[in-house]
Structure 1
Amino acid sequence: MKTCRNTFMNNFFLRLLMVIAFGVSSCQEDLGLSHVRTGEQSAPPTNLTFEEAPGGATISYNLPTHPDLRYVKATYTLENGRTMVGKASLYDNSIKVEGFAQIGDYDVTLVAVSVGEVASAPVSIRIRTGKPSYQIIAESFQSSEHFYSTFGGVNVFYENAAAANLILRTFRFGLNPETNGREWLLLQETYTRALNGTIRVRGQQPQEERYGVVVRDQWGNVSDTIERLLTPQEEYKFEGIRMFTGIQPYSEQNRNGDFVRNNAGQANSADMQIAFFDGVEATPFYNTMRQWWGSGTPIPFQFTMDLGRASQISRIKMWGRNDNQSLYFQATHPKEFELYGSNAPAADGSWDSWTRIGTYEGVRPSGLPFGTNANAEDITYARTGEDFEVDWEHPGGFRYFRIRVNSTWNGIREQVLNNALTVAIAELQLFGVYVN
């Protein structure tokens, strides 16, 4: 029995050594990138048709039935002379060609590729492309609904139905102090593939200026500069905001009260005031005194601010938790909130003494689902702070403003006090004008 076992083990190790040797030999041969085998040439795709798409087309076809078929390849040339190659697997019967700068007629060559990169005879189709996304979006900025002045600057609202990868650059025509000449000055550059969004340019003077937008796509196609003569409205960042202490604390018995408790035993409005309005967005790491960190937070909850005099808010800028990319747009990050105004808040926090101004919902630029880490676009957006514009219908203004947080990005809209939920706001800024 022992002899058999020894014989078995000797044979096993001999075979193992042979396998290793063969593997090393094979790896050395693979360094030349040679194919394991060369398949037979298949017939080309047949019954080619196309459907226009933004900046390209979708070509449909019938696949050959050859067993060695691996994929279909399309080759075409853009207006700038760049040769493009697209591939579609043997499980698809269509292929997308894109990157064209203009509407036009273009030739595309297709081949069916077998094992070993053996190509079929080529077949061609002449397609007509749709208007490219970068042009569609640029032309939309000629409308005052998409490119317009607002408090403290201008807004650029885009709709990107094809989810194209784009760069949108916003400019103002003005004096360049380095050259002492007037030219287009870059104000903001936005990378996006979101289906829609608003670019908010702030810090502009309340005077008439020429503003422009240029759109560029991932293939280097660039739009003309879309210009508009715009006059931003006057806007100030409110300073000296204080947390209002005249409302009873939140409790299960009085859910209309203000919830001001911060983390680490900081349970008063002064701590909340430091965290919200100290001008520090608490990046790149969490700091208890720099972020408001409400542990055991109920949902919904509210807090009240005193601006000192009657005011009109034009914009709210909010930073969520800012220390870890895995927590952007997650359970700690406020998503939906409401804004209320009052000149005589009731001490018990009852809502009859408040006027609802609006409801606001955060946007995740990438569109990724809850529970997934933020990508580069999400991180840039979150670290810049999210702007919420306030449509104003109360010209008399209010001294006191109340924010009611209805949900975070986990979507839960009802949780009791002292549960496990934590809500974090790194910084809060309010903009607008004093009424008197």
Structure 2
Amino acid sequence: MKNIKKFSSHFNVWLCLMITFTIISCKEDSGIQFAREGAKPDKLTNISFEEAAGGAIISYDMPDNVDLRYVQATYTLDNGRTMVAKSSVYDNHLKVEGFAKIGEYNIELKAVSVGEVQSDPIMIKIKTGKPQYQILAESFESDSYFYSTFGGINLVYKNESAANIILRVFKFGTNPTTNMTGWNTINDTYTKSKEGVIRVRGENPIAAKYGVIIRDQWGNISDTIVRTLTPLEEVELKGIKGYKGIVAYSNENKNGEYILNYSAQGNSADLEVALFDGLQTGSTYNTGKQWWGRNAPIPLQFSLDLGKKVQLSRVKLWGRNDNASLLFQATHPKEFEVYASNNPATDGSWDSWTLVGSFTGTRPSGLAFGVNATQEDQTYAQAGEDFEVAWDTQESYRYFRVKVLCTWNGVREQPLGNALTVAISEMKFFGKYTQ
């Protein structure tokens, strides 16, 4: 199938910026007078190369010139764009990249001295490895990387070179706005993460054609990978209540339930009211209630009664969304587990519970604890974070137990009554009712 080539205006702006940053080194300075000019450097010697994804790493011996400043490679991509790569005198190699396919390409190498004095050029021919965008596209032909799940589809991507890429997901059908039938964009992901999951939700449980293309920072576009997938039926599970059949948590019985508010204030409310009021909380975004577990122990657990047996597909969690400076900080849950049971023990012992999922939150920026959330972090947190359950191995349960293992401060053990506050704005449970 031919590439789908319609891209939105914001995509083009992003691409132009990437191109500008990539080729800025190609521009020649004008009107600059160098303090002095060094001696013309000798040519590079002992040149070799090693294939790399979409390019090659070129090694060499540098000339023994005191004025030498850097080595420069000039080459042309498949789309006709001229590129320049540079490496300092402290390295004996440089990388050329951005090629659209495996092939042989000519590279011009020069040594450059003080005052931009260049050696005589040397032309070499390299062979490139398969580009990362093609490797990524081909991975989506596998059921392990592009597959249906509850309420939609998942695409698992491995971007091992951490290249800037855009993944665009399409669905074939009728556009409700234009009433035209064709391919419609349903997700755009801009990333340089080494790995991740694109989750498309809100899909009906009927067979449909889905496609994905990858575009890299040099403008190379993959073929469209098309799969016919049937999402599994998924609904938001409603009527969730806090389960009151287990003794309260204490420092003597750490298996008990921590379900109360301590010194509730502001927009706080009882757990079952705050967590399931349908609002993602806070004065900044709406008037919903959030749950503050003040003086909370770590780990802590609370149990929920869904009223009927269900097959759980995913949990969605919002941290403390009323204050961006507190996102991914000491109040924001980072690691938690979800257990299930049809006959919970009243003393809170874990033998009556089955682990159905262990989850770790993601911070898109990758910044350390204590650093304020970026706009990317805020946008991600405000949308809520999805945590999927291994649905293919799971039974049906009525009661679920959430165990918070740590917040983003990394502390894994705190007694009841410490100064820590655990804050959750909202939780949602999804899956299907089985009775």
| TM-score relative to the length of structure 2 | 0.86
Instruction: Tell me whether 280-289 or 399-408 shows the greater mean CA deviation.
Output: 280-289
Q: Which amino acid aligns with 2:305?
A: D
Please show how residues 94-243 of structure 1 align to structure 2 within 5 Å: 94-243=93-242
Q: Deviations over 1:100-134 (max 9, x none)?
A: 11111111112122222222221222111110111
2:413 alignment partner in structure 1: 414
C-alpha displacement at 1:264, in angstroms? 4.6
Structure 2 residue runs of 5 or longer lacking an equivalent are 1-28
> The residue matched to 1:273 in structure 2 has which SS?
helix
| 2-structure distance, mates of 1:401, 1:155 | 25
The answer (yes or no) to whether the contact 1:342–1:398 under 8 Å persists in 2 is yes
CA displacement 1:163-189 (0-9 Å, x = unmatched): 111111111101012332211111111
Preserved CA contact (<8 Å) 1:396 1:435:
no
Measured in 1, the distance between the counterparts of 2:117 and 2:333 equals 55
Residue 336 of structure 2 corresponds to 337
Once the two structures are overlaid, the 10-residue window that deviates more, 102-111 or 33-42, is 33-42
Greater displacement, 162-171 / 392-401: 392-401
Count how many residue pairs are aligned between Structure 1 and Structure 2.
407
User: Offset of 1:376 from its aligned partner?
Assistant: 5.2
Find the counterpart in structure 1 of residue 13 from structure 2: none
CA contact (8 A) 2:340 2:398 kept: yes
Tell me, in whole angstroms, the C-alpha distance in 2 between the residues paired with 1:78 and 1:393: 46
Distance in 2 separating the partners of 1:284 and 1:125: 63
Question: What is the CA distance between 1:293 and its match in structure 2?
Answer: 2.6
Question: CA offset at residue 31 of structure 1?
Answer: 11
Taking a change above 3 Å as real, the CA distance of residues 266 and 198 of structure 1, as seen in their structure-2 partners, is same
Q: CA–CA distance in 1 between the matches of 2:327 and 2:121?
A: 49
The residue aligned with 1:429 is: 428
Relative distance call for 1:102 and 1:227 in structure 2 (3 A) is: same
Which stretch shifts more, 76-85 or 391-400? 391-400
| 1:309-388 equivalence runs, <5 A | 309-323=308-322, 327-375=326-374, 377-388=376-387
The structure having more radius of gyration, on CA atoms, is 1
**2:425 aligned counterpart, secondary structure:** strand
Structure 1 runs (4+) deviating above 6 angstroms are none
Report Cα offsets for 1:61-111 as digits up to 9, x if no partner.
Answer: 112222212211111111111111111111111111111111111111121
* Secondary structure at the counterpart of residue 40 of structure 2: coil
Distance 2:428 2:182 in 1: 32
1:401 counterpart residue number: 400
Which runs of 5 or more residues in structure 1 are unaligned?
A: 1-29
How far apart, in 1, do the equivalents of 2:132 and 2:30 lie? 42
* Pair 193,375 (structure 1): closer, same or farther in 2 beyond 3 Å: farther
Deviates more, 1:145-154 or 1:404-413: 404-413
Which residue does the alignment assign to 1:7? none
In the TM superposition, what is the alpha-carbon distance from 1:223 to its structure 2 partner? 0.8
Of all paired residues, the percent bearing the same amino acid is 59
Q: How far apart, in 2, do the equivalents of 1:120 and 1:371 lie?
A: 50
Instruction: Report if aligned partners of 1:242, 1:307 keep a CA contact under 8 Å in 2.
Output: yes
